[in-house]
Structure 1
Amino acid sequence: MARAKTGTGRLRTRTAAVALASCAMAAGLTATTAQAAQASETDEHCVLDVSTRDHTCYETLAEARQQGRRIADTTGELIGATVFEDVEYGGSSLTITVPEPCPKNDEVDFWLDLDDYWQNRISSVQAWSTCWVWLYPDSGDRAGPYKENHPDVGGYINDRTVTVGLS
């Protein structure tokens, strides 16, 4: 069930550990028993369109991915990246859609300043399509590019990201 998220308020959805494990497997990930045990009733799985800034949340990662693909089919948008609150693709997730494949032009083409909920929470990332993911802490430095899936972004940037760039 989709739930719109407006402003910077926090919308939390309920999900069970079993649902998280099923979603991870559906996404092609290996879910461990420890990951399933970490699932929280407050996890949310959202899709954010960088073009329109529309932000919709779902109860499961599978629903969010399905919606991201639906956006791609109907508007030409693509999934550019998914970022996760916890290592090993656990916790809440934010799937970011972009209007076109990321060109390889030595520039960051799409920017997302994270809302209050997502600031200083990212611990793992998945790059989609042709996009590379860059993570920026408040200091202005950056980490990346993450050109593929990274179950742990590393100690330097873990829980320090305030802006995501896609190139």
Structure 2
Amino acid sequence: MGAGILGIVCAASVTIGSAGAAPEENGQHCTVNVGNKEEKCFSTPEAAQEYAAVRIKDDALGAQTEVALPTDVVIGTLFKDYRYGGGSITLWGSRPCGEERETGFYFNLPDDWKGQVSSVQGWAECEVTLYSRPYLDGVASPRFADLTPVLEGQWNDYAESIEFR
């Protein structure tokens, strides 16, 4: 729950000053809807997070209360570099992951991202597991329940698909 609330607070805090950013075809900070695969890219991570964050519905305390649209919950962000640097992909889905910890969402990395992820953030109560092959196949990482600024050992620059549960 803490990461979900923190995600809402963080996403809201980075949007100041970037209102109205237009998507770019070649931007290195993208957003992807894990349901319909809609993708939009931006030149800054703040613009990408703002675009995704407008899909979050929250109460006055900043806690997730409900999902009103099929694309309004940010579930995670992947980064090419340690400590949330480099290019990024912010993913959103139809709901928070919840306490059941069954697979809520998965995402096959695009070819230019395979073997490139060095830090991850799970939002909306989602824990993150990395896999060495597409479609959650191959070797699975331990579950990352918290924000993970550094993927160490074999998981740095290794994943080809990501599971959110």
- TM-score scaled by structure 2? 0.73
RMSD: 1.6
Identity of aligned residues (%): 27
Partners of 2:77 and 2:42 in 1: CA distance: 14
Residue 70 of structure 1: CA displacement? 1.6
- TM-score scaled by structure 1? 0.73
What is the SS of the residue equivalent to 2:120? strand
> Which residues of structure 2 form unaligned runs of 5+?
1-21, 58-67
What is the SS of the residue equivalent to 1:53? coil
Partners of 1:126 and 1:85 in 2: CA distance: 12
Which runs of structure 1 show a deviation greater than 4 angstroms over 4 or more consecutive aligned residues? none
What does residue range 117-156 of structure 1 map to in structure 2 within 5 Å? 117-138=112-133, 140-156=138-154
Match of 1:2 in 2: 23
Match of 2:7 in 1: none
What is the SS of the residue equivalent to 1:145? coil
Residue 72 of structure 1: CA displacement? 3.1
Question: What is the one-letter code of the residue matched to 1:125?
Answer: V
Change (3 A) 1:126 1:112: same
Match of 2:73 among 78, 81, 105: 78
Further displaced range: 44-53 or 130-139: 130-139
Further displaced range: 92-101 or 139-148: 139-148
1:103 aligned onto 2:98: yes
Further displaced range: 153-162 or 101-110: 101-110
Partners of 1:129 and 1:101 in 2: CA distance: 5
Matched length: 130
Match of 1:160 in 2: 158
> Which residues of structure 1 form unaligned runs of 5+?
5-10, 14-43
